[in-house]
Chain A
Amino acid sequence: MYERGTVETAIVLLRELLKHPVINRENNSSLIMRIQQDSEVLNLWQEVLEPALGVKLLKAGDEYYLTTGIQESVFAASNEDLRGDLGVDNNTELFTCSFIVLTLIAAFYNSDDTTGPSREYINLVELEGLVTSNFEALLGREDVEALENKGRVNLVEPAQFWLDLATMRQGAIRPKQTITRWGFLLKTLSFLEKNQLVHLIEERQVFPQPRLNTLVANYYNHRDHKNMILELIRAGGDENASD
């Protein structure tokens, strides 16, 4: 049974997190104070709001972030939303972009001694190479045809799609709009930039933003989340789930 004030503070936190990418002392010191004074607020989140809404409140020091994590949630973007935001036409392209994101975070957060980024930035040329070699590795597997014949929807399609693309079109006025590897890299990265996750400099190099560092450190490096993610990958996802 929660006090009225506790419920109020918890819901104000939800509202503010839907409005702002982060809640901290700088943008809402009174709310931070109220949360500190009422330890029940975070319990309410954990017991009620998180399971009910399919979200996860991430506490990073004195800052709060909200994510849906990998769960089905009323707050999660649908594939349709994502296609719209990325400016891509179909799911193969969307999954290709997702694979780019995965490759990007794997390149940044691959340090053996820190949960932080292992490098300051990555060049787009290198990122393109990594995506390509990862996709090639995927297609190079001996059992790839067997997997495909099972009718399983997997990454083969995005991989083939990517590998069939030209790297870039020289002299394109709007490189981002070209149907090339470069075009999809730029679409993905500017989408991430809009989400305040990376800085894309001159279509040349990508820097992680603190927000990305914090999300990765606090979401992925968590026992339950890690297990859930690995389970999902191994189970191959819920094939009947709608788009």
Chain B
Amino acid sequence: MDTPGEDAFESVQQRFAGFIGFDERMSSLMSMWPLYGLTAKNTLTGYSGFELGVCLLLFVMEKMLGYEICTYEDARDFLGGLLPLFADEPVSSEQAETVVEKLLNELSNYGKPFQYEYRSPDGVTRQVKFRLLEQEPYSLPGRDTVKLRLTPIGLDILFKSREIYQDLRFSVMQFYLDQQIRRGTFDGALDTVRQLGVAVAAMERDLEVLRAEIRRNVVETMAKPDYRRIFTRMRQQLNRESETFDNLIRLVQETRRNAEASVLPGNDNRLSNVQRLEQQLYAVSQRHLMLLNSQLDLNFLTEEALLASLRSTLIVRFHLEKELLAEVLRQNPPGKVVTQVGMQPLLRPRPSRLFSLLSFLGPQTLLSRDRERPPENILGGVDRAVEQAQQQLEQQQYKKTLELLQRFFRIILTPLVRSPELYLSHVTVGMKEQGWPQYEVEAFLYMMLLLHQARRIEARLPWGFVPSDSDMLEFALYRLLRDDPELAGIGMVQVTAGSGKVDLPYDMEMTELLFYRGDGGV
């Protein structure tokens, strides 16, 4: 019988997959509450109740794992011994007894199960009921006492509280999957594969974060527990998980073959499920395999970063709030300085717009960027005048740059009309006397770097194509050659590094370059 409420719930449930298993999750989360509750108990104030509670559970677990009985007295003595470590002030023996008794009572909830309520998405208030620590009478020779034991839920929260659990989960899921395939519950199996995929993605993310951390500061990163955990996991578990994947794939393949053999006409649902399972399992295992490669990368990266950090003894701490910002507020420097120290180091270097020689390196981007200013500026109306002025300025600069580039090309090419080769140092000798401004020297230097990189200058016509004006360096050369047939008669010029350095004005220097005519055969 459907009530309107159930209808609504069903539709919400269909929309939000997180509601599947919601109740289980709530009870799992609420199993931690009694421990958190210890922080609010008056009797335990000043004695770190929460921490002591965790210690108590751990103590009982240790006993259980060793198949030993944990009596009330064992627990009391243990806690009594710990108390001075966790208390704010010295503890008298009466106080100690009160605290220990309170803890034991609280975590056993005075013998009653813990009960919490929560509201389920179907609108119903549900109840979670559980125990963490159980006490039961126990007879020792000559006296009766109580023994303590953790319930499965008590054990579970301790397991969950350590990362190792998270890592083991992967193996546990693989185990489930194996069972599901054998039992033929393929829907469930597909779900498990999906979860494995999520787990692999989480590991990928962990690794990515770790890599970024190592690049940032390897020494700091290696000291973190996360680093050790991921490394240990990689070393110990990846290979094993990977083998398990191989086995699982074989199992699915076998299952598929059986399904194919026994398929009935009109009933191939089972078969298509197995096929889907096989595909998805294969995909997940491939991604998992990639993690193995990442492991090698990570080792390599760590090694390299460590070496680099050993080489550099210059790393110091610069606290950007207490040391940088505070100093700016104290000194009140010019705004320009703030741009310089706070913004400039973060930006990508770029050739100044006047010399956008990037044209040589690929698609021209710097010049066109301004024409493609974000639409808000164009729409803004007010900015249109600014825009126009800027474009005009741009054009002037463009013309100036073009002339400058042609001048540089002429400096290099003219001597090559008569001589088969030219050393860069020969043309740079007079720069200082001729009074080159700094920006021209800088541009010249940069252009030489680019020419060296390009390795050749095509000083002949015609070219296989007509360069457009968006490609400034080529365009400048092309125009120069067109205007000066003598230079266009030089032919191909090779550019290569010579020996020594060339001194330029303004304390600049670069490697000697040799320009020589020819098609490349030295």
Contact = CB atoms under 8 A, between A and B. Distances in A.
A65 B446 CA distance: 19
Interface in A94-111: 94-99, 101-103, 105-110
Contact of A1 (B316, B319, B500): B500
Contacts of A102: 324-325, 328, 338, 341-343
Contact of A105 (B300, B322, B340, B342): B342
Given A87-B377, A237-B336, A210 B342 contact: no
A177 B449 CA distance: 41
A181 interface: no
Contact of A138 (B214, B332, B500): B332
Interface in B317-344: 317-325, 327-329, 331-344
A18 B338 contact: no
Interface residues of A, number: 107
A134 B445 contact: no
B466 interface: no
A77 B343 CA distance: 10
Contacts of B497: 2, 4, 7-8
A60 B216 contact: yes
A199 interface: no
A237 B337 contact: yes
Nearest to A110: B321
Which of B220, B301, B449 neighbours the largest number of chain A CB atoms within 10 Å of its CB? B449
B398 to A, nearest CB: 15
A176 B337 contact: no
B390 interface: yes
A106 B334 contact: no
A232 B337 contact: yes
Interface stretch (B40-48, B172-180, B351-359): B351-359
A15 B350 CA distance: 11
Contacts of B355: 74
A95 B339 contact: yes
A204 interface: no
Chief secondary structure at chain B's binding surface:
helix
Contact of B361 (A7, A18, A155): A18
A183 B323 CA distance: 28
Given A109-B320, A216-B320, A98 B333 contact: no
B499 A101 contact: no
13 contacts: A7-B452, A19-B361, A53-B445, A68-B345, A70-B341, A73-B349, A82-B339, A98-B339, A105-B324, A110-B322, A213-B216, A222-B316, A229-B324
Given A105-B320, A232-B341, 11 more contacts: A15-B361, A74-B439, A98-B343, A99-B342, A101-B346, A105-B346, A106-B324, A110-B321, A195-B346, A214-B212, A223-B316
Interface of B: 211-218, 220, 297, 300-301, 304-305, 308, 314-325, 327-329, 331-353, 355, 358, 361-362, 370, 374, 376-377, 380, 386, 390, 439, 442-443, 445-446, 449-450, 452-453, 496-497, 499-501, 507-511
